[in-house]
Amino acid sequence: MKLFKQLLLATSMLVTAIAPSMAADADPDILKVALLPDENASELIKRNQPLKDYLETTLNKKVELIVTTDYSSMIEAMRFGRIDLAYFGPLSYVMAKSKSDIEPFAAMVIDGVPTYRSIIIANADSGIESYADIKGKKMAYGDRASTSSHLIPKTVLIEQGGIEADTDYEQHFVGTHDAVAVNVANGNADAGGLSEVIFNFVVERKLIDPARVKVLGHSKPYPQYPWAMRSNLNDDLKANIRDAFVSLDDEEVLKNFKAEGFAPITDADYDVIRDMGKLLNLDFSTM
């Protein structure tokens, strides 16, 4: 009985010690902001220094930019509160939402709309002229949790080409969008799927020779990559974060996203992603 009382007292003291830090976590001194790991980490952090500076000035807080090793580790970091806000892909957001108490608040606006497309490309010497020609070939995707470099192009191949992964072609996951483009250009993969915006950026940076690839087609528009934050942040802080993005007009920040600005969004905007998951028989909570 004495031992039980000692344990009870120790537990009570531990809870008392932890409680203030848990309360403070709703308004952290340093905001941990995660960037989508779809390109080289050091390059992403360097390019987004203007975003860091803008948020620090606007929110009057220190900001730490973080690039996780992959999409899954980013989702887990949000799940366990190790990051405060994050730039997700639509699929990785839906997956994170199924495991975490988070809320989307802003998405990029490009050409006046908060939507984007995926493209499917093929190696110029692969003999592939249409989606149907991918049958029996090697198809490269980015991360399994990527929307525009996995979920969307895979859906396009089913709906428009009538072909399915593993049954009709070999699927290979190479990690990032730029890796998809490089693998297709150098012939390690016959075809691949990735974001149209990132493909154009890869070509602009001369990471590939555009003559080595051909664009087979585009997907229909889908909701843009969302910014999301922990729901248990302080209400005033959440409002300030939303306002900081929706009112953002800093050209230096926006050019790194190749965006005109950010528009408000809600969780319901991503139901279309959940519907695609049903088509592919995906359980987002277990991915």
The tokens describing 28, both together, are 């952290």
Q: What is the pLDDT of residues 169-226, one digit of tens each?
A: 999 999 999 999 999 999 999 999 999 989 998 999 999 999 999 999 999 999 999 9
Residue 45 above 60 pLDDT? yes
Mean pLDDT of 140-159: 92
Say which DSSP state 188 is in.
Answer: S
Sign of the Cα pseudo-torsion (250, 268, 157, 136, in order): positive
- Tell me, what's the pLDDT at 16? 35
- pLDDT > 50? residue 282: yes
With beta carbons less than 8 A apart as the criterion, state whether 92 and 86 touch.
Answer: no
Contact 61, 32 (CB under 8 A): no
pLDDT band at 279 (very low <50, low <70, confident <90, very high): confident
- pLDDT over 90, % of the chain: 73
pLDDT tens, 79-110?
Answer: 999 999 999 988 899 999 999 999 999 999 98
Residue with the bigger pLDDT between 40 and 56: it is: 56
Closest CA to 155 of 44, 275, 17, 3: 275
- 169-179 pLDDT tens trace: 999 999 999 99
Where does the pLDDT of residue 118 fall: very low under 50, low under 70, confident under 90, or very high at 90 and above? very high
The Cα 186–Cα 278 span in angstroms is 34
Q: Please provide the average confidence, as pLDDT, over all residues in the chain.
A: 88
* Structure confidence at residue 193 (pLDDT): 98
Instruction: Read off the tokens for 20.
Output: 């203030």
Residues 6+ apart with CB under 8 A from 262: 106, 107, 108, 109, 227, 245, 246, 248
pLDDT of residue 28 exceeding 80, the answer is yes
Q: Which helix (H) or strand (E) holds 67?
A: none
> What's the number of CA atoms in the CB half-sphere (13 Å) around residue 247?
10
Enumerate residues 6+ apart whose C-beta is below 8 A from 101.
230, 231, 232
Name the β-bridge partners of 171. 139
C-beta of residue 90 within 8 angstroms of C-beta of residue 226: yes
Residue carrying the six token digits 């989508």: 36
Q: What does pTM read for this prediction?
A: 0.72
